[in-house]
Structure 1
Amino acid sequence: MTDGKLAVIGLGSIGSMALWQASRLSDSVVGFEAATPAHGRSAVGGDTRLFRMIYRGNPDYYPILQRSQRLWAELEAETGQDILTRCGGLSIGTANGPYINAVLETTKATGAEHQLLSHAELAERYPQHNLRPDDVAVYDPNAGALRTDRAVTAAVAAAEANGATVHRNTPVDSITETNDGVVVTAGGRSWTFENVIVASGGWSRRLMPDYLKAATETKRIFLSWFVANDASQFTPEKFPIFIRIYEDRSMYGAPAVDGVTVKATLDGRGKPTPDPDAVPRELTTAEIEETTDTVSEFFPGLIPNIVRSDAFPDLFTEDGQPLLGPFSEGSRIYCATGFSGAGFKNATGFGHIAAHEALGKQTFDGLGFVRPERFKTS
């Protein structure tokens, strides 16, 4: 006898969605959360994440994005929550520069709906951006801002409504695969499940085999917010999400979904943090200076003083691609972590894949780039 068909360890960005999807497939699903869903120290923190269909990189993500887009709408319909604020999105960079060319190359491969905005069109439509003379943008009409706290709590509530059991404030100490299943130990108590999904984000390394520990690293991600001189110019109706990259300058952000603060954050500044429970929350002097200098250049309508900031741990892989699949061939432990600071937009899609595969309901092709086995050396 086991205590359930599936346990999901970690109910953050991906784990909450995997639990929700699994609860649609089985009435014997259990979730373990070390604190509470959407707690303030997890990678879920920070109000919003960007959703976009336009990006640069591996076009194999596009089918997952399409699935995620549908599932975000399903989660909203099932829970009555407004999770994805659809406001469009901008990828801004130098005309014919490496960033814009890479975005257009990926968009050509995926066939994603988009519009290339000239410098003049970009300046007219979105005057909030202080542009360089050769700046252009690729506009994504399907992009928007995901409300992270609302998404995670909604997914967990939906799973519980479907019959899932959730153990809150229950950090898992160990997982052990046996002939009878997978033994999960937490706080002196043990459970046995047919299968387990590890989705603990920055805390996942504690439960991983050595070969995956060697290929991953927990890093600190920080976020920052600003107040506008005229908040009406930075509402979702007027100010799409954005990513802006050229040379050594890079920033991304979201409109004032709270009506007051605009998220504007440096991109790609994650730094290793050995202990996910001890991530420095305060920004360093250098981080403050680079952030405010970039905001001063990019957005004359924002007051260049950080009014709110925070930092969170997330798990990064050596190649920046996620870990989605069993620990090893035939293993009952499934890995859904290592999203390297870029997983939330696809959280519903990744959760769907993890739940179906871990329960043996369906397997998915074209996912070699995310399988953990790619890091095995022998």
Structure 2
Amino acid sequence: MDGKLAVIGLGSIGSMALWQASRLTDSVVGFEAQSPGHARSAVGGDTRLFRMLYRGIPDYYPILQRSRRLWAELEAESGQDILTRCGGLSIGTVDGPYIAALLETTRVNGAEHEILSRDAMAERYPQHNLRPDDCAVFDPHAGALRTDRAVTAAVAAAQANGATVVTDTSIDSIQETDDGVVVTAGDESWTFENVIVASGGWSQKLMPEYLKAATETRRIFLSWFVARDAAEFSPERFPVFIRISGDRSMYGAPSVDGVTVKATLDGRGAPTPAADSVPRDLTAAEIAETTETVREFFPGLFPNIVRSDAFPDLYTADFQPLLGFLDNSSRIYAATGFSGAGFKMASGYGEIAASEALGKRYFDGLDFVRPHRFEKI
């Protein structure tokens, strides 16, 4: 055996799984096709939204609570500022489906929140140009995660705990045997007791057929704008936001460089043939819709994209993650398919994956993310 556990892919989730595994054993190896935090993976783009308010399955809430504590632990362990705690806004039509669904989930999970009328929003957050029937829900525990810092800090912390990191090594195959899992890259191979697959948009080639059929790689694009007055969009004055108002939707984060503000169309992930060949330039239609939306939503931003990029991520058919062993007898653990929404809970997901893959603890109540849900499809 070359180790108890291998983690394939050290991006959003894999870096956290490696860090958490290193707290449980000194016999863990992480494999990365490039280098941790590289800008071509789903880690790219400087920031991701952390929020405790969301619409959907209430059972995510305990993972968010644990993730919030783990982000603080990673900051303490690394000495890095990873989560900018600036609060968050969910903005939408008063009687529309978005706000209604968000408040229903919040009612069930008990997340702390504050409902803001249009007038209250205009007073507290005048950066947002609201429609007459808009309102907002404020999340006091939300913020902006610094993605590159988070990933590199987690990998460094894992190495300090004794983990081994193998970079510039793309894994070609994984094969279960009676004794373990053989991991192959070119002419080299290693054998581990168990393996976590956390390689995002590159995960499909390492999956069984039933999961290949239930997943696809999609392209996510991001865009940034220059503020007319950067101080108005600083973290102290401009929370992270998601806005779904009628026919327009956008999410974004405050300025972390003192100049530009991230403002990106929501829910525009489109299928792409391969993670290695994601078109980085925005199309004319993407540019037009993005600038039109910014022109309406944010008078304080110049309505011209000054920076944009695109990244791959793996999406599942039901937009819920793959987190768990492939079956009851498998030694291969999937931690992928986060469908463009995984980073806020990456630290919590990493803890679950590491603990379960090493046989230290099993987490109940997670049937909605277990891979076996797709076996009969």
TM-score under structure 1 length normalisation:
0.99
User: Which residue identity lines up with residue 209 of structure 1 in the other structure?
Assistant: P
Question: Partner residue of 2:370?
Answer: 371
Question: Partner residue of 2:157?
Answer: 158
Question: Partner residue of 1:105?
Answer: 104
Question: Partner residue of 1:288?
Answer: 287
Measured in 2, the distance between the counterparts of 1:303 and 1:187 equals: 49
Question: Partner residue of 1:30?
Answer: 29
Measured in 1, the distance between the counterparts of 2:186 and 2:210 equals: 27
- Deviation, 1:246, is 2.3
Question: Partner residue of 1:6?
Answer: 5
- Deviation, 1:32, is 0.2
Question: Partner residue of 1:328?
Answer: 327
**Partner-residue secondary structure (3-state), 1:25:** coil
- Structure 1: any 5+ residue segments left out of the alignment? none
Q: How do residues 1-378 of structure 1 correspond to structure 2 at under 5 angstroms?
A: 2-377=1-376
- Equivalences, count: 377
User: Which residue identity lines up with residue 367 of structure 1 in the other structure?
Assistant: L
Residue by residue over 1:201-248, the C-alpha shift from the partner in whole angstroms, topping out at 9 and shown as x without a partner, is: 000001000000000000000000000111010000000000000232
| Identity of matched residues, % | 79
**Partner-residue secondary structure (3-state), 1:345:** helix
**Partner-residue secondary structure (3-state), 1:281:** coil
User: Which residue identity lines up with residue 313 of structure 1 in the other structure?
Assistant: P
Residue by residue over 1:60-91, the C-alpha shift from the partner in whole angstroms, topping out at 9 and shown as x without a partner, is: 10000000000000000000000000000000
**Partner-residue secondary structure (3-state), 2:23:** helix
Measured in 1, the distance between the counterparts of 2:7 and 2:118 equals: 47
**Partner-residue secondary structure (3-state), 1:319:** coil
Measured in 2, the distance between the counterparts of 1:117 and 1:275 equals: 42
Report the RMSD for the aligned CA atoms in angstroms: 0.6
- Deviation, 1:141, is 0.3
Measured in 2, the distance between the counterparts of 1:269 and 1:257 equals: 24
Contact 2:134/2:245, CA 8 A, preserved across alignment = no
User: Which residue identity lines up with residue 188 of structure 2 in the other structure?
Assistant: R
Measured in 2, the distance between the counterparts of 1:243 and 1:19 equals: 31
User: Which residue identity lines up with residue 157 of structure 2 in the other structure?
Assistant: A
Residue by residue over 1:339-369, the C-alpha shift from the partner in whole angstroms, topping out at 9 and shown as x without a partner, is: 0000000000000000000000000000000
- Deviation, 1:117, is 0.4
**Partner-residue secondary structure (3-state), 1:306:** strand
Contact 2:93/2:246, CA 8 A, preserved across alignment = no
User: Which residue identity lines up with residue 27 of structure 2 in the other structure?
Assistant: S
- Structure 2: any 5+ residue segments left out of the alignment? none
Measured in 2, the distance between the counterparts of 1:329 and 1:277 equals: 32
**Partner-residue secondary structure (3-state), 2:333:** strand
**Partner-residue secondary structure (3-state), 1:291:** helix
**Partner-residue secondary structure (3-state), 1:191:** strand
- Deviation, 1:187, is 2.4
**Partner-residue secondary structure (3-state), 2:151:** helix
Measured in 2, the distance between the counterparts of 1:182 and 1:298 equals: 51
Q: Which consecutive aligned stretches of 4+ in structure 1 deviate over 6 angstroms post-superposition?
A: none
